[in-house]
Amino acid sequence: MTSFFALRYLFSPSRMGAVNWVSGISAVAIAVVSMALVVALSVYNGYVKLILQTTGAAAPELLITPQQGATLDMREPTLLTALESDLVASYSPMLRAKGVIRHLATEQMVDVVGVAPEYWQVVGGDSLLLEGRLPKQGSSTPEILVGMALASEGISPMSQQDARLYFPRRQGLINPLAPGTAFRSTELVVTGIMRPVDEEFDRQGYVDISVMHDLLAYQEHIATAVALRLARGVPPTEGKQRLAERLVGKYHLLDRAEQHPELTFLIRMEKLMVFLIMTFILLLAAFNLASGLAMLILEKRADLQTLRALGMTSRMEGRIFALAGVLISLLGSFVGVTLGLILSWLQERFELIEAGQGLLTMPFPIDIQASDILLILLCTTLISCVISMVPSFFFKKKRS
């Protein structure tokens, strides 16, 4: 019965025209805010997706790191069982350390990553190359592939000069009278330059893992991480979950977003702040709804006296107007979400709006996520339920 009266009060014309106007304005305001939320959150999701796609060419699909300590043993049975399962197409141990590379008169800090030959199959090495070739295993002089930042400092194949890589000596005695004994070093041939990705990646250098084992005095089965690529047809989320179960909590299993949390942290925080600000605006728009319901209650006082004579209780009266407010809010939110989805689809399909200048001009990226749509509808419903109860609450309190 309450839903019947709520629908009737919602769609029937009122004797006071202002009631319909206020209700309509409330629905339009909620629709506009809901539409803006859908578009804004989709754009932020698009930027996160774009960043992950950019770094995806340089980062493995999954990365295994130790939970305790800095290194892991490739002979460990639990790790081997997971890596040799049918979920994994290929994998490569990695040994990472910071060193100094000297070339001509310049010295640069470099994040050196030692990888096995299989690593380039894991990440698709050919797509990383901007110039030159990938380093080879077993060459007479160790080879290195450098990032764009190092290449801009002159460390490139075009220089025709070998570089030298230094690491602090990890084991053994150091003669204080001979400072050079505190380091281990090797000559390097620069074979290629990687495509620019981000500041961290552009200062990396890739060598064969055997070179790192020798310079850091590690045994050949020691690594700091394992990069892997899932088998074809294995969903990333399912594959990660099943592998994590096989690793029995001894290792961290990181996807691309978890490998580089700093890249997307700022955008995710901006997305959260925009959502909170828009939710506050939605709350302000919902107060128009409370005003419209208060006017509707005043207009329907004569009807309420008749309904009370027929046996309707105060609780039922409150439900009628609360439900009417919820219906107005839901109508506005569904219309707004629908318009937001349409605008997002048009932007994604036709790239209507662009940002940037010159060569940096690019369309706003879009990534529509169902979780955001559900969150917007849930937030709108919750706010409308709370606001819709306010007028009927004060009305019942005044009656009592």
Q: What is the mean pLDDT of residues 50-68?
A: 85
Domain of residue 273: give its range. 2-55+263-399
Shared-domain flag, residues 18 and 66: no
My answer on whether 69 and 196 are in the same domain is yes
Query: Which of 92, 143, 139, 149 is CA-nearest to residue 117?
Result: 92
Amino acid at 114: G
User: Token match 């419209």: residue?
Assistant: 292
E-only strand ranges, 255-302: none
Which of 235, 259, 283 terminates a domain? The answer is 259
Cα first-last separation, the chain: 24
Domain boundary among 259, 285, 307: 259
**Beta-ladder partners of 187:** 164
Q: What is the mean pLDDT of residues 290-313?
A: 73
Provide the pLDDT confidence category of residue 5 given band limits of 50, 70 and 90: low
DSSP 3-state of 109: strand
Tell me the mean pLDDT in the region 34-62.
88
Residues 267 and 395 in one domain: yes
Residue 189 near residue 183 (C-beta atoms within 8 A): no
Q: For strands 362-363 and 354-355, give the pairing.
A: antiparallel
Evaluate if residue 141 carries a pLDDT over 80. yes
For residue range 81-127, list pLDDT tens digits in order: 999 999 999 999 999 999 999 887 788 899 999 999 999 999 887 77
- H or E, element range at 206: strand 204-208
* pLDDT tens digits for range 143-163: 999 998 888 888 888 776 778
Q: How far apart are CA 278 and CA 265, in angstroms?
A: 20
For residues 139 and 282, state if they share a domain. Answer: no
Strand 62-66 to 143-146 pairing? unpaired
Same domain, 183 and 70: yes
Q: Is 311 left (phi over 0), alpha (psi -120 to 50) or beta?
A: left
pTM for this structure? 0.76
Choose the final residue of a domain: 205, 228, 259.
259
The arithmetic mean of pLDDT across residues 371-386, rounded, is 91
For the chain, the domain total comes to: 2
Residue 338, CA distances (Å) to 34, 299, 378 in order: 9, 32, 15
Q: Give which of 319, 351, 260 is closest to 55, Cα–Cα.
A: 260
Q: Residue 352 burial by CB count (10 A; 0-12/13-18/19+): exposed, middle or buried?
A: exposed
Mean per-residue pLDDT for 59-82?
94
Is pLDDT above 60 for 133? yes
Query: With 90 as the cut, is the pLDDT of residue 306 above it?
Result: no
Q: Which pLDDT value is given to residue 58?
A: 78
Q: Find the angle CA(354)-CA(272)-CA(29) to the nearest 5 degrees.
A: 75
pLDDT band, very low/low/confident/very high, at 400 (cuts 50, 70, 90):
low
Give residue-wise pLDDT tens across range 308-362: 766 777 677 777 777 888 888 889 999 999 999 999 999 999 999 998 776 568 8
| Helices then strands, each counted (H, E), the chain | 13, 14
For residues 318 and 388, state if they share a domain. yes
Shared domain check, 67 and 10: no
Cα distance between residue 127 and residue 192, in whole Å: 12
pLDDT per position as a tens digit, 186-210: 999 999 999 888 778 889 999 999 9
180 shares its domain with 291: no
The pLDDT score that the predictor gives to residue 42 is 96
Q: Give the mean pLDDT of the chain.
A: 86
Q: Are residues 173 and 291 in the same domain?
A: no
Same domain, 66 and 118: yes
Check whether residue 315 and residue 365 sit in a common domain. yes
* pLDDT band per the 50, 70, 90 thresholds, residue 211: very high
CA 42 to CA 353: how far, in whole Å? 14
